[in-house]
Amino acid sequence: MFWTVDRLTEWGISLQCYYTIDAGVQCTTVLNPTLYQPPESVSISFVNHTEMMFENQQYTLQCSVQNVAPVQSLTMTFYRGNTALGHLQSDSEHKKPVNKTFTLNITPRREDDGAQYWCEAKLELGPAGPQRPPVVTSEKLNATVYFTTTTRKPEPTTIKSTRSTTRATTPQTTKSTTTTTKSTTSSATTTTATKTAVIAQAITTPQSSSNRILTHSFMCLTLLLSALI
């Protein structure tokens, strides 16, 4: 025997079945069915926060589900992109549809800038239920994470200066020039003394009248040359 209904509105219903077995014995079996109500909607937001987030600070995400029953059979999963951040369940025993909010603390990093947070509500219908239980997802919440950038100061550069030792050659050149000058002067003096000695010898040597004239002329020429030199 089968019994079917189009719609049940009694969430705490209890069904009793009466039947008679052999020997006229009447029996009763009680059935307590579980009524399921998939969530009508799921939303995500931050708790007491509407603006940008900062790196390494803690924030609280909340996902709210509306009109679901039984809520203890619901699993709420928080996501960042395709990464699951946590799975949460309720310990409530309400059989009627209720609204429920789940929260999760997060600490964003600089890598999370531009990431999308969202949540997924899955109503578990048990092993006898459909293989794919009803799933309702929230909208995606874009995150903006502000972070500080540390600039490393450049290390001071030490420039080693190479000093080249230059020997002064001017004094040596001057000294050499001086030495040459002195040498030249000494040679000129020696030459002049020699010529003078020749002239003196010529004067003291007895000569004829014509020779004396010639000698005198030679002496004048010699003296002139000496003056020029």
**Predicted local distance difference test score (pLDDT) of residue 157:** 59
pLDDT at 41: 95
151 secondary structure, DSSP code = P
pLDDT value at residue 211: 63
| pLDDT in the model for residue 27 | 86
| pLDDT score, position 154 | 61
Per-residue confidence (pLDDT) for residue 103, from 0 to 100: 97
CA 222 to each of CA 94, 197, 205: distance values in angstroms, whole numbers, following the listed order: 150, 12, 17
Q: Which residues of the chain have pLDDT under 70?
A: 1-3, 131, 150-213, 227-229
* Predicted local distance difference test score (pLDDT) of residue 107: 94
* Encoded amino acid at 78, one letter: F
Homologous superfamily assigned to 41-146: Immunoglobulins (2.60.40.10)
Compute the chain's Rg from CA coordinates: 62
Residue ranges of domains in the chain: 41-146, 192-229
* Chain segment 191-216, per-residue pLDDT in tens: 444 444 444 454 444 445 556 667 77
**CA dist., res. 109 & res. 54, Å (int):** 8
